[in-house]
Amino acid sequence: MNIRALAANALGPLLRQHGSLSTHLPDALEHCPQQDRALLQQLCYGTMRELFRLQALAARLLQKPFKRQDSDLQALLLIGLWQLRSSRIPAHAALHETVEATEVLNKPWAKKLFNAVLRRYQREQDKLEQALSEDPCFTWNHPQWFIDKLSHNWPEHWQSILHANDQQAPLTLRTNGRQLSRRQALEQLAEAGIDATPCRFSPVGLSLSQAMDVNAVPGFAAGQFSVQDEAAQLAAELVDAKPGERILDACAAPGGKLCHLLEATPGLQEVIAVELEPARAQRIADNLQRLGLELECRTLTADASSQDWWDGIAFDRILVDAPCSGTGVIRRHPDIKWLRKGDEIAALAQVQLNILANLWQMLKPGGRLVYATCSIFSQENERIIERFLRQQNDARHETIDAKWGEARPFGRQLFPLNGGHDGFYYAVLNKTTDDSTA
């Protein structure tokens, strides 16, 4: 079994803009021996994390680019360069296994080419990288549109955001307060030899010092813990649900914020989760079942921008976890910066505004709506809220008083933090009881 060839087959379609890591890697893992799965993940995630630097180097090393039908070879070369440049894999092993993978891919004609190109990189690494030092895409390892947009949005933060995007995110858990306190959770993990520290902002968050198979965490299968980034854990406190209220979680998959809401507030009158895609709706069901919460929520496969599914009974609280560019979670999904295109942001923003306007009609007077995205672009965040408030006379923006993130004219923005939370955005809106006060 050649693990490099498996990785190349997983990444090849991505380079053609087909699918994502989350769609292709699971199949590769199924065909990978158990003892090699960690290496396969390391090769795929590492290569995608440094993709723009690796592509720039490959372009320097090749006389002509690979043909489209050879995207597996293109991926394999990037994997080889990543091993030599950034991994702890011995260079001789990385080079040998990568060259041999050309035969496994049924393209033995490329064997000599790979051997020559990778050995040249070994000899000339400093010279090659120095020649690319003036290329922003190589320096910052992001597409040019992303660098331009980010530096315009955040002139004081863009460099630190780009740097944070290239770091591996920590494994963060949410403690199920119905079953144990965070103090008890820390003691339980320590007894199992797992080093964990309390998150800074979430009262139920724990950050593990080392990544591990979450199924090996004692109590995970019993529902004592869930995997959830600290930034996402802040949603439940902002929604501030009360017993007896009717709650809507829109665009709810995979259900982390929904489950947190249920854990934090027993005795809710009714909770409805809406998700457009059936496969993602199933993930909500799976999470609810693992946590023993399936009887406390009703999941609908429906479009949050439509009212076809609504029974006409207004909600006390609504969480709008809007579909977005995902640019705040690139550390966890490094293929985002390759797959996402700059011209998609405006279209996403219109979808977000449409969903927000539609769901607002379902909120009771005096009700509370929390708007959230995992984006770092203001076009999807504070500008959406600003546009909405201009259109909606009965909407009032509530300032979020918190120690996390950066206060904006509307809402608060979190940036990805090394060793800490992902990039995220939150805004809180209240519906007035009399729209004539506008």
Q: Which residues are catalytic?
A: 374
Q: Are strands 395-398 and 406-407 parallel, antiparallel or unpaired?
A: unpaired
Peptide bond into 254 cis (omega under 30): yes
What single letter denotes the amino acid at residue 297? C
What is the DSSP pairing of strand 395-398 with strand 424-431?
antiparallel
Residue 417: exposure state from Cβ atoms within 10 A (0-12, 13-18, ≥19): buried
C-alpha 323, offset from chain centre: 12
**Alpha helices (runs of H) in 62-181, residue ranges in sequence order:** 71-86, 91-104, 111-131, 136-140, 144-153, 158-165
CB 412 within 8 A of CB 406: yes
Residue 203, preceding bond cis, omega within 30 degrees? no
Q: 69 to each of 64, 66, 72, 257, 339, how far by Cα in Å?
A: 14, 8, 8, 42, 19
Rounded Cα distance, 364 and 88, in Å = 57
CA distance 197 to 227: 15
Q: Report, in this order, helix, strand and coil percent for the chain, each rounded to 5.
A: 50, 15, 35
The H or E element spanning position 373 is: strand 363-373
Residues in the chain: 438
- Angstrom distance (rounded) from CA 70 to CA 420: 39
Cα torsion angle, 259, 345, 310, 315, sign: positive
* Angle at alpha carbon of residue 331, lines to 329 and 333, rounded to 5°: 70
Largest CA-CA distance found in the chain, in angstroms, rounded: 76
CA torsion through residues 137, 139, 141, 145, sign:
negative
What is the DSSP secondary structure assignment for residue 378, as one 8-state letter?
Answer: G
SS3 335: coil
